[in-house]
Amino acid sequence: MTEQRSGTPRVAVRRPHRADARRNFDALLGAAREVFAESGTSASLEEIARRAGVGIGTLYRNFPTRQDLFDTVYLGEVEELCQAADEVADLPPWDGFVVWLRRFVDYVATKRAIYESLNRDSETFRSCRVAMYGAGEPLFERAQAAGEARTDVSFDDVLRMITGLTATGFTDERQRDRVLGIALDGVRRRPAG
């Protein structure tokens, strides 16, 4: 685990040191996200290697088992979610929270694709949850402190609502953005009168 700006622990994927190996590793993770989202956890590892532009041997050198690939994809998503919190920390409070929440929606889509394959009792899974909350909750609390988010709503409430809304999927990104906007209207505090 590493630290983020606020000092909250965060997770990190262990990438290879050599630049060429790191590029292959990252290409495999990106391809795996896409293929798992399209085809689920039974997706072809050969298809993942093909999309990453590497041979199947390179995939197996980096991820000896399918479970290793699932875990690393999930860990990578959480890592990016934590990094996104750092990237939006200097935006106005409401804007920063909304930008981060939109990234959370992408995370939910990947998690849904591989959820059944994750060991939810593992220390890694618990660490990921702590890191994700540690990244997003300060953004939400900052929006609340600025008077832009309702104070009778918790961060956990918002994440559960967004997770529930995204569980069924959307016909396209425009519909996803509309539904997310409707949900956020319920979270945003409006001035009286």
Q: Parse the chain into domains and list their residue ranges.
A: 2-187
- The Cβ of residue 39 has, within 10 Å, a number of other Cβ atoms equal to 13
What's the pLDDT at 193? 56
Q: How far apart are CA 98 and CA 117, in angstroms?
A: 29
The residues, any chain, with a CB within 8 Å of residue 38's CB and separated by 6 or more, are none
What's the pLDDT at 3? 47
Residue 138 in tokens: 């300060």
pTM score = 0.79
For the chain (length 193 residues), average pLDDT per consecutive 10?
Answer: 48 72 91 87 92 94 88 86 93 96 84 72 81 94 96 95 84 89 92 65
What's the pLDDT at 169? 75
Q: Which CATH class is domain 2-187?
A: mainly alpha
